[in-house]
A and B are shown apart, each in its own frame.
Chain A
Amino acid sequence: MGTQTERTYDAVVIGAGNGGLAAAIRILQGGFSCLLLEKHNLPGGFATSFKRGRFEFEASLHELNDFGSPDAPGDIRTLFRDLGVEEKIDWIRIPEAYHLITTDKQYDCEMPFGVDAFIDKMEQYVPGSRKSMTEFFELCNEVRDAQTYSNSVNGNTDSDYMKSHFPNFIKAGSYSVNEVLDALKMPKRAQDILNAYWCYLGVDCDRMSFLHYGSMVIRYITRDAWMPKMRSHEISLAFDARIRELGGDIWYNSEAAKILTDKDGHITGVELADGTTVRTHHVVANCSPHLVFGKMLDRSAVTEKMVRATNARTFSGRGFTLFLGLNKSAEELGIKSHNYFIYDTADSVKQYDLMRKVETNHVQATVCLNNAFPECSPKGTCIMYFTTMFMSDDWGNVTETDYFKAKDRMAEDMIRVFERETGCKIRDAIEEICVASPTTYARYCGHPQGVIYGYETADWDSLMPRMMMMKEDAQLFPGLRFAGGYAMRSSGYSSSYVSGDLSGRQTVGDLKREVR
């Protein structure tokens, strides 16, 4: 039952991940027609859930940052409000920031939300840290204000205004996290504890831009983190419903194989894997430039400049997650926190290096969902998920016949480390188990090597120059914009929604100019 008639849309969005979903709504809100194509039979990409026995597992979301309460909304809640999806979703507030454990220095620190509470708690763990922590948050506030200004002018910032209003932002702007914290004379132990979130951005603190980290930390600590009750699948279906309300079309099980161009390299349409074609001049790709320029576009349409710009970039972490449905409650098992970061070492540079190899990677960001939302599983049970990343293509060495065993080895190591570091014995309580490896992420979302974090925001490719070059980067291929983890805002839920918002609105701008 293929499609015989060729349909025409003002824009086609490839991929119904977080970025693609937001972009599609923006295009429709702009008054243009839009088709959203998705290769899987569900929306959301990583933002989904799945069932095993009596458990419904969250596939990827730990918490949505910068969300805030209904009365004091953060940027993401505001975005959801503008998109018309906020009220379609039942939200719950995440109780605490994080619980950091490191094997080498034996940190065991539980950090709260709220700047004052965070600074007080840090002072308890590291006496004498108050001054530098206070300055850190002051600096972060300026970072956030500067970014808000930058967004309000779509990246076209006035440099005199920046210099007069955000001098510290500019002065700190070219430095790494560690360089700035050293300049603030923050005690080393406080730096270690503060840097716990680094794995959420996937770059060690010697190479991660302070602006990037600071803007994330301030958004977590001052604006709370939230998540939907029915897992991230609830968000994805809310977006699906909103797109349909606005008259958009969504085709599932419909993989976009090619972006079609004319002899001048202008986009003319999209061809699906089954040969169906759809006409359009505007594409928002919620997938990697590596796929778009390497496979989807005809070679003749891909210039050397595009190839060089794509090859220059570095893939970020490849994902690995263990999901457990346990037949005892979190309380019975002694699991007290919602969100654990467990590292071999508090030194992010050393840790990043250990994460290159499957064998030496013992990092885990672990969630016990019931400690945020007790009713997420039946009484007397709980849900846990353990996530790590590989900082090289080492997983690519796994062979077909060793695949299931390789997943088990990694999963067993995660359980071993969690039990050793927390003292909570979970192994005998495993009722359901599921493992997602880089192969799984490659399967469902098509990302090269099973990468879940897009391109590394390290060194020259950090967040700030990406934002400042947003316009310039989009000129690489007019008519084509990117959304999601590989786009200008880099990876993570909030960032992906924002990049979809940006690329969707910019596509509306392109379309309006065209009409004129």
Chain B
Amino acid sequence: MKFKKQIFGFMDMLRFKKLVPNRREALANGPADPLPTEYRTNVLAHRLHPGRMEVELVDAVMVTPTIRKLTFRRTDADAFPFFRAGQYVSLQSPVGDSLVSRPYSIASSPREALENKLVLGVEDAGFFSGYLCRDAKPGDRFVMSEPSGEFHYETLRDKKHIVCIAGGSGITPFVSMAKSMAEGDEPYEMTLFYGARTAQQLAFRDELDALSAKGLKVVYVLSDETCDGCEHGFVSAALMEKYVDIRESSFFLCGPQAMYDFVLKELAPYDLPRKAVRKDAGSCGNREVSDPRTFRLTVHVRDKVCEISAQENETLLTAMERAGIDAPNKCRAGGCGYCHSKWVRGEYVVADGRDGRREADRKFGFIHPCVTYPASDIELIVPVGE
């Protein structure tokens, strides 16, 4: 073929010759104004996802005999990011020689975040939560992750009506979700079943009662006592049938494993699609090992190397925290991938049902230390804490 655009082919050739001079000239004639240092989309990205935040505990009050309501403000900015009700933050602090983090669902609303207020409800049930419930006091400083997690409503996925089922401190995300609905930021209709042994163990009850005047339908379900205005027993299908259309609802569950087991068994006969029921994932704890051995864990962080000990029954993340290493982590349930680390050598075991790694992670030897236990001496390359 002979390509020609203009009558004489050489004119096409001439145009080609000008490509470079034209570009050279355009580059030389760009505006001399200073280059931007900020871009709106990037500013919003940073507001929504600030990474680690510095916070101060401003108020702490026991709301049940075992649950403490902790209110924080940011000290490195004048507001928390707007978030999706149902999300959690991870709170970090040195405790003794350890540097400990734990995820907690947010109980305050996304609008309150903009007023520099973020509330957690912490149950006195473990090493760090025990510290938070008993030792932490107003004025204490912490590091907090940005709000994270996928335990929240999705308009295009979920039914208009949602059924939320809470047990114990599992009530916290639902307080936020109810508030966010009342504040007009969420489009759902919400029925909340809140199970506890006794009325005294119901946290955030004043707030929930106030929200029921703003559209929240709340049903308290007590297993160990009867009282006016409360159901007695457990959150069974028969009980739910009294209040909601099970087949026309999306379910959100947050509470202890025993509650999940019970509710899922109750819902099984309905044969709901998998998408209809979501559970908030709890932190991964120790694994049962009789007479756990102690292994040597070698950790590379950038160009530093540490040798520490690791217990067979504790996660690799816990071992690193105990040694005061600032290893990245967020969900502690194997899912968020934030602790993603390179395995170098040694044997390990991943907690049952918690392997949230990508397929290629397994192929190329990456692990999530938050759900991985050592089974021999082991060596890892861990990214620096943010």
Q: Which residues of A contact B (CB under 8 A)?
A: 1, 3, 5, 7, 41-42, 49-54, 56, 135, 138-139, 163, 167-168, 170-175, 179-180, 183-184, 228-231, 233-234, 236-238, 240-241, 249, 251-254, 274, 276, 290, 293-295, 304-305, 307-313, 318, 327, 393, 395-401, 403-404, 408, 411-412, 415, 427, 430-433, 438-440, 442-443, 446, 448-450, 460-462, 464-466, 468-469, 472
Contact = CB atoms under 8 A, between A and B. Distances in A.
Given A393-B41, A432-B157, A443-B49, A465 B20 contact: yes
A251 B356 CA distance: 23
Given A234-B363, A401-B185, A468 B28 contact: no
A51 B335 contact: yes
Given A171-B12, A172-B5, A233-B358, A253 B385 contact: yes
Given A171-B4, A175-B5, A461-B23, A449 B39 contact: yes
Nearest to B12: A171
Nearest to A183: B5
Given A7-B303, A312-B26, A464-B19, A448 B383 contact: no
Given A1-B384, A174-B16, A311 B114 contact: no
Nearest to B46: A443
A396 B41 contact: yes
Interface stretch (B148-156, B167-175, B289-297): B148-156
B155 A56 contact: no
Grouping DSSP codes into helix (H, G, I), strand (E, B) and loop, the A interface class, with mixed when no group exceeds half, is helix
Query: SS class of chain B's interface: helix, strand, loop or mixed?
Result: loop
Given A253-B383, A393-B41, A234 B12 contact: no
A313 B23 CA distance: 10
Nearest to B18: A174
Interface string B14-55: 011011101110111111111111011110111111000000
A228 B360 CA distance: 10
Given A179-B5, A449-B41, A460-B23, A313 B30 contact: yes
Nearest to A163: B13
A276 B26 CA distance: 38
A50 B48 CA distance: 20
Contact of B32 (A308, A408, A472): A308
Nearest to A171: B12
Interface string B279-321: 0000000000000000000000111100000000000000000
A276 B9 CA distance: 59
B19 A231 contact: no
- Report the contact-size class of chain B (Cβ under 8 Å from the partner): 35 or more
B360 A254 contact: no
Closest 6 CB pairs of A and B: A312-B30, A294-B35, A396-B40, A174-B15, A171-B12, A252-B383
Contacts of B28: 305, 308-309, 312
Contacts of A450: 41-42, 45
Contacts of A468: 19-20
Given A1-B304, A3-B304, A312-B28, 18 more contacts: A1-B385, A54-B274, A170-B12, A171-B13, A173-B12, A174-B18, A251-B383, A253-B386, A290-B35, A308-B31, A309-B30, A311-B31, A400-B44, A403-B82, A412-B156, A431-B273, A442-B44, A443-B45
26 contacts: A41-B328, A135-B1, A135-B3, A167-B3, A170-B16, A183-B5, A233-B359, A234-B360, A252-B384, A290-B35, A307-B33, A312-B26, A312-B27, A312-B31, A313-B30, A318-B41, A393-B39, A397-B40, A400-B48, A400-B114, A415-B156, A431-B274, A448-B41, A450-B45, A460-B19, A465-B22
B204 interface: no
A230 B361 CA distance: 9
A462 B37 CA distance: 26
A304 B44 CA distance: 30
Contact of B44 (A54, A240, A294, A439): A439
Nearest to B27: A309
A191 to B, nearest CB: 15
A395 B44 CA distance: 11
B303 A56 contact: no
A230 B26 contact: no
A25 B19 CA distance: 33
B20 A469 contact: yes
Residue among B2, B82, B302, B359 with most chain A CB within 10 A: B302
A101 B263 CA distance: 46
A49 B3 contact: no
Contacts of B304: 1, 3
B348 interface: no
A385 B358 CA distance: 18
A241 B363 CA distance: 11
B183 to A, nearest CB: 10
A446 B42 CA distance: 7
A444 to B, nearest CB: 9
B275 interface: yes
Contacts of A54: 274
Contacts of A49: 358, 360
B340 interface: yes
Nearest to A411: B156
B45 A51 contact: no
A397 B41 CA distance: 8
Contact of B34 (A307, A400, A404, A431): A307
A469 B46 CA distance: 36
